Amino acid sequence: MLDIEGHTSSDGGFNVNMKLSNDRAQTVKNYLVVKGVDPLRLSSQGFGPTKPLNEGKTEQERALNRRVELKLRNN
Protein backbone atom coordinates (compact mmCIF):
# COMPACT_ATOMS: atom_id res chain seq x y z
CA MET A 1 0.00 0.00 0.00
CA LEU A 2 1.23 3.48 -0.83
CA ASP A 3 0.02 6.40 1.28
CA ILE A 4 0.07 9.73 -0.52
CA GLU A 5 0.13 12.68 1.90
CA GLY A 6 -0.44 16.27 0.84
CA HIS A 7 0.86 19.20 2.90
CA THR A 8 0.77 22.99 2.75
CA SER A 9 2.47 25.90 4.44
CA SER A 10 0.59 27.88 7.07
CA ASP A 11 -0.12 30.74 4.62
CA GLY A 12 -3.82 31.28 4.03
CA GLY A 13 -6.86 29.93 5.81
CA PHE A 14 -6.94 26.53 7.46
CA ASN A 15 -9.92 25.19 5.48
CA VAL A 16 -8.43 26.35 2.18
CA ASN A 17 -5.14 24.64 3.05
CA MET A 18 -6.92 21.41 3.98
CA LYS A 19 -8.69 21.36 0.60
CA LEU A 20 -5.46 22.26 -1.21
CA SER A 21 -3.52 19.48 0.50
CA ASN A 22 -6.25 16.94 -0.28
CA ASP A 23 -6.28 18.09 -3.91
CA ARG A 24 -2.48 17.83 -4.04
CA ALA A 25 -2.50 14.24 -2.78
CA GLN A 26 -5.40 13.25 -5.05
CA THR A 27 -3.61 14.68 -8.10
CA VAL A 28 -0.58 12.47 -7.42
CA LYS A 29 -2.86 9.47 -6.90
CA ASN A 30 -4.64 10.16 -10.19
CA TYR A 31 -1.30 10.40 -11.99
CA LEU A 32 -0.14 7.05 -10.62
CA VAL A 33 -3.43 5.41 -11.61
CA VAL A 34 -3.09 6.76 -15.17
CA LYS A 35 0.41 5.27 -15.22
CA GLY A 36 -1.02 1.84 -14.38
CA VAL A 37 -0.87 1.57 -10.59
CA ASP A 38 -3.89 -0.27 -9.13
CA PRO A 39 -5.97 2.37 -7.28
CA LEU A 40 -6.77 -0.17 -4.56
CA ARG A 41 -3.07 -0.07 -3.62
CA LEU A 42 -3.13 3.72 -3.10
CA SER A 43 -4.55 6.01 -0.44
CA SER A 44 -4.47 9.80 -0.43
CA GLN A 45 -4.98 12.25 2.39
CA GLY A 46 -4.35 15.92 2.99
CA PHE A 47 -2.91 17.25 6.22
CA GLY A 48 -2.83 20.97 5.39
CA PRO A 49 -0.42 22.86 7.63
CA THR A 50 -0.66 20.38 10.53
CA LYS A 51 2.61 18.51 9.89
CA PRO A 52 5.23 21.10 8.90
CA LEU A 53 8.85 20.18 8.28
CA ASN A 54 9.98 23.42 9.92
CA GLU A 55 8.64 26.59 11.60
CA GLY A 56 7.81 28.31 8.30
CA LYS A 57 9.33 31.62 9.30
CA THR A 58 10.90 32.35 5.91
CA GLU A 59 9.58 31.94 2.38
CA GLN A 60 12.13 29.17 1.80
CA GLU A 61 10.88 27.27 4.87
CA ARG A 62 7.24 27.75 3.83
CA ALA A 63 8.08 26.44 0.35
CA LEU A 64 9.56 23.26 1.89
CA ASN A 65 6.32 22.72 3.82
CA ARG A 66 4.34 22.67 0.54
CA ARG A 67 4.88 19.08 -0.50
CA VAL A 68 3.55 15.61 -1.20
CA GLU A 69 5.07 12.65 0.63
CA LEU A 70 4.81 9.04 -0.51
CA LYS A 71 4.95 6.46 2.27
CA LEU A 72 5.15 2.76 1.53
CA ARG A 73 3.58 0.42 4.06
CA ASN A 74 2.91 -3.30 4.24
CA ASN A 75 -0.60 -4.58 4.89
pLDDT at 75: 73
Q: What is the 3-state secondary structure (H, E, C) of the chain?
A: CEEEEEECCCCCCHHHHHHHHHHHHHHHHHHHHHCCCCHHHEEEEECCCCCCCCCCCCHHHHHHHCEEEEEECCC
pLDDT for 12: 95
Q: Element (H or E) spanning 23, and its range? A: helix 14-34
**Rg for the chain, CA atoms, rounded:** 13
Distance of CA 54 to the CA centre of its chain: 16
Average pLDDT, 10 consecutive residues per value, the chain (75 residues): 98 98 98 98 98 97 98 90
For the entire predicted model, the pTM comes to 0.93
